[in-house]
A and B are shown apart, each in its own frame.
Chain A
Amino acid sequence: MGSGPLAAFQLARQVSRAQRGDPRAFRALYATLHPAVYGYLAARVRVRADAEDLTALTLHRFVDRLDRYDRRKGSVRAWVLTIARNALIDHLRARRDVAPLAEVEHLLADARFAPDAREEDPRLQRIREALADHPPTTREMFALRYGDGLRTPEIAALLGLSEAAVKQRFSRTLRTLKQRLATPENEEVAHVPS
């Protein structure tokens, strides 16, 4: 299933049927949501078993709250990924003995840059370094967009930002990245994003 408005509408309709106990609708919903939730979590925790435990926790919470879903408040995918993100924050904080929230923000933003996942490609390494100069919310936005394939309204809902703010930040950061990547590496100066 795609991620456009029609796909979002179909998911909302499947939730509506699952609320009435329709197992066929739930299976269709699960076939879409399980890969999205597992993909989000597995990219951010190192241990596969942890990702599977968090996926189970997220989807159990999703089913427990199924009757509370209101399509006017946002897409199903954004809703279930918000549950997944909250479960991930709890997991990260527990693992780091109640890490400060600011530290968790950095973990959320950079968890996908696991050292063992780094490539040797120097161009990609430069992009990672250029992104690292941006605030954690911007880095998380980029991971959600280019790593998880989320749409602007879903990213806005997940991070509690307005759609306009997300678009503006994407536009500004992409421009900064292009400028920086167009500069030869040995001519780069210390970069402070706006």
Chain B
Amino acid sequence: MSLPDELRRVYPRPDAPDPDRRDALEAELLAKLPEPSPSAWRRRMLFGGLAGLAFVGACAVPTDYAVDFGHRLAFSISEEDFDPRGLAEHIREGFDGVEELRVSASMSRVETDDGAPPQMSFDVTLDIVGDVDADAVELSLLEHFDALEAVDVESIDATVHGTFGGMLSHRTLGWVVDEQSADEARARILADFAARGLPPPHRVEVQVEEDEGPGRRSRAVRVEVESER
């Protein structure tokens, strides 16, 4: 058993709460919430199992935009600790959300004049694609390797050379589906243009159509932006 597993056993789980008291507290707290506005009520009725569709049209402004993919973790370990297969299994089995994993390493050998045996070390890079808790991976590496002092963590993103329309398909759909407000999405599109130093678009139209039927709720989002560089 590893030390982290033993540490978890050191802290016992408390007993479960009284379910009646838990439910009564939920009812008390719900009564304290503000009254939902009619639009919020409608959103609430339609929320759940959302299906989002986006149509981004009339927008051909060339632009570059970044898309996040995951994290890169880099660290140095000794020759005896270097086990790429074990490392990959540790990450894949220990963390949810790993879509793709690449382990790469470069080796360095240091020799001295004092007759001591040469020292080997490995600079390891883990590229993890997916929605993974990079902090948890980092901590687990620090726990796993005794001599590990630090792990460098950075986001992996890629710059996409495309149009503003393409960027909107990545970003705006998420804003509209998440925030459920056409006005908020429209404001964010305008702010994004301004942040990129682009002149404001001639027209920004965001339409949200919601449909509810037996066993299904859907939400269609249509975004149109007209602009020129």
Structural contact, A43 and B29, CB atoms closer than 8 A: no
In chain A, positions 35-58 with a C-beta closer than 8 Å to chain B are 35, 38-39, 42-43, 48, 51-52, 55-56
Q: Is B111 an interface residue (CB 8 A)?
A: no
Docked CA distance A121–B7 (Å): 13
Q: Which residue of A lies closest to B45 (CB)?
A: A24
Q: Is B131 an interface residue (CB 8 A)?
A: yes
Docked CA distance A35–B7 (Å): 21
Q: Which of B36, B96, B149 contacts A2 (CB 8 A)?
A: B96
Docked CA distance A157–B7 (Å): 22
Structural contact, A167 and B17, CB atoms closer than 8 A: no
Docked CA distance A183–B148 (Å): 20
Q: Which residue of A lies closest to B32 (CB)?
A: A63
What interface size band does chain B fall in? 35 or more
Q: How many residues of A contact B (CB 8 A)?
A: 61
A-side contacts of B26, CB under 8 Å:
27, 30, 34
Q: Is A69 an interface residue (CB 8 A)?
A: no
Q: Which of B13, B18, B132 contacts A4 (CB 8 A)?
A: B132
Q: Is B97 an interface residue (CB 8 A)?
A: yes
Output the least CB separation between A159 and chain B (Å): 15
Structural contact, A171 and B142, CB atoms closer than 8 A: yes
Docked CA distance A174–B47 (Å): 45
In chain B, positions 164-184 with a C-beta closer than 8 Å to chain A are 178-179
Structural contact, B132 and A127, CB atoms closer than 8 A: no
Question: Footprint of A on B, CB under 8 Å?
Answer: 3-4, 6-15, 17-18, 21-22, 25-26, 28-30, 32-37, 40, 43-44, 47-48, 96-97, 131-133, 135-136, 138-139, 142-143, 146, 148-150, 178-179
Question: Footprint of B on A, CB under 8 Å?
Answer: 2-6, 13, 16-27, 30, 34-35, 38-39, 42-43, 48, 51-52, 55-56, 59-60, 63-64, 112-113, 117, 119, 121, 123-124, 127-128, 131, 142-143, 145-148, 151-153, 167, 170-171, 174-175, 177-178, 181
Besides A39-B14, A43-B14, A124-B10, 12 new A-B residue pairs in contact (Cβ under 8 A), listed by A number: A4-B132, A16-B179, A17-B44, A22-B36, A23-B30, A39-B13, A43-B11, A48-B15, A145-B7, A147-B11, A167-B138, A170-B139
